[in-house]
Amino acid sequence: MKFGINKKELAPALLMLFIGMATVLGSLNYQIGSLARMGPGYFPLILGAGLMLVACLIAITPADPQGSTRIAFVPQYRAWFLVVLGIVLFIVLGQYGGLIPATFMLAFVATLADKKNTFKTAIMVAVILTLMAVAVFYYGLQMQFPLLRWG
């Protein structure tokens, strides 16, 4: 079986590889320890190495037996903008509004990044994800993140 570079997934794979390498290098600033007595740098080291492995597997795929060419990477600026905007809104609304509005806006805006999703779909995803986040993080894990905050 022949392997080739997946040109469509090359840019995301390189980004994942870079993030994995940065995580591994950052973990070396902490004590790694051993498997029996893990230090604070052990988990980031394993996580970064795993991310690098997945990035390599994404970039290198089996060659198409029919020899057809793959589509080149086309940046989707709308999706990038809306996902980054969702994260920024989560940070701002988390600080000044609480978990409920922050999670709702993050899910709502990020769902609209896909052109196939409708306004109704974005609302449903945002409501369900907000309910799950409140159940898991506020009640289940008892995180010190207020549900609603005014000001």
pLDDT, one tens digit per residue, over 10-65 is 888 899 999 999 999 999 999 998 888 888 999 999 999 999 999 998 888 775 55
The predicted structure's pLDDT at residue 74: 66
Q: Which of 91, 84, 72 is nearest to 8 (CA)?
A: 72
Higher pLDDT, 115 or 75: 115
The predicted structure's pLDDT at residue 108: 94
Cα–Cα distance for residue pair 17/20, rounded to 1 Å: 5
For residue 33, what is the DSSP state?
Answer: B
Tens digit of each residue's pLDDT (9 = 90 or more) over 102-142: 999 999 999 998 888 889 999 999 999 999 999 998 888 88
Query: Which residues lie below 8 Å from residue 2, measured CB to CB, with a gap of 6+?
Result: 62, 63
Higher pLDDT, 143 or 123: 123
Output the CA–CA distances (angstroms, integers) from residue 64 to 8, 71, 108, in the order listed: 13, 13, 37
The predicted structure's pLDDT at residue 1: 62
The predicted structure's pLDDT at residue 20: 93
Decide if 4 contacts 69 (C-beta within 8 A): no
Q: Is residue 68 predicted with pLDDT exceeding 90?
A: no
